[in-house]
Amino acid sequence: MTIRGLIFDYGGVLWDMRWDVSASLAAEHGLAELAVVETLYGSETWTQLAVGIGDRDAWHRESHARLEALAGRPLPPLHDHWRGAQAWIAPNLDLIRRLRPPYATAVLSNSDRTLRERFIEKGGALDLFDEFVCSGEVGVAKPDQRIYALTAERLGLPAADCLFIDDSERNVDAARAAGMQAVHLRIDQGHDLETQLAGFGVRAAPRG
């Protein structure tokens, strides 16, 4: 199949999550390696927020309380410190620029409804994407196959003509089950997106 549409996850693909920083913060405060991550994204409150139900501020308060409960003592705002270290993955944004045209592009992210606003505030280039699909806006989240179908439909393409990129293996597997081709990208393991896309025959224009 010829790839005509490229669908990018946000965190870990466009936005550097800095998993190393979350682990360092945990170690510094005597917590398990994944404690900072799991108290933020491992709760039912987050699961609901990601499909548009609940309050972002309440989720932050609950996440911090869970972290302090694990530590058994007051803690500084470690989630905020972690998020403060995150930034755009500049080479991937540059790559997307060089892929347009001829490829149609979309963001597909599990996030609360504020993602679009935060994307713009952080200097994200919305004009790089033909579609922006946020789970909190549409009420369904990855790995539910409906959100992959919705994204392909918005691009006006069959699923088989789309290549999905995500840092979560579960979400990549779900995209394949939905009929897409897919790439598992882990920049923290040294993966290079341009090289991975080239393996599917997707090639960008040369840099400036």
Q: Per-residue pLDDT for the chain (208 aa), expressed as one digit of tens each?
A: 699 999 999 999 999 999 999 999 999 999 999 999 999 999 999 999 999 999 999 999 999 999 999 999 999 999 999 999 999 999 999 999 999 999 999 999 999 999 999 999 988 789 999 999 999 999 999 999 999 999 999 999 999 999 999 999 999 999 999 999 999 999 999 999 999 999 999 999 998 7
CA pair distance 3, 104, nearest whole angstrom? 10
CA pair distance 41, 22, nearest whole angstrom? 12
CA pair distance 112, 20, nearest whole angstrom? 24
Residue 78: the pLDDT is 98
Question: Does the predicted TM-score (pTM) go above 0.85?
Answer: yes
Strand order in the sheet with 104-109: 131-134, 104-109, 5-8, 162-166, 181-184
Residue 7: the pLDDT is 98
Residue 125: the pLDDT is 85
Considering only CA atoms, which of 77, 55, 50, 82 is closest in space to residue 64? Answer: 77
Residue 123: the pLDDT is 85
| CATH number 2.60.120.10 is the correct assignment for the domain at 5-16+87-198 | no
Residue tagged 């911090």 (tokens)? 64
* Beta strands, E only, 20-150: 87-88, 104-109, 131-134
CA pair distance 98, 119, nearest whole angstrom? 20
Given CA atoms 46, 90, 186, 199 in this order, what sign does their dihedral have? Answer: positive
How far does Cα 16 stand from its chain's mean position? 9
Residue 86: the pLDDT is 97
Residue 64: the pLDDT is 98
Considering only CA atoms, which of 201, 207, 165, 200 is closest in space to residue 186? Answer: 165
Contact 13/165 with Cβ under 8 angstroms?
yes
Considering only CA atoms, which of 18, 57, 63 is closest in space to residue 39? Answer: 63
Q: What is the token pair recorded at 59?
A: 């989720």
Residue 124: the pLDDT is 73
Burial class (CB in 10 A: 0-12, 13-18, 19+), 141: buried
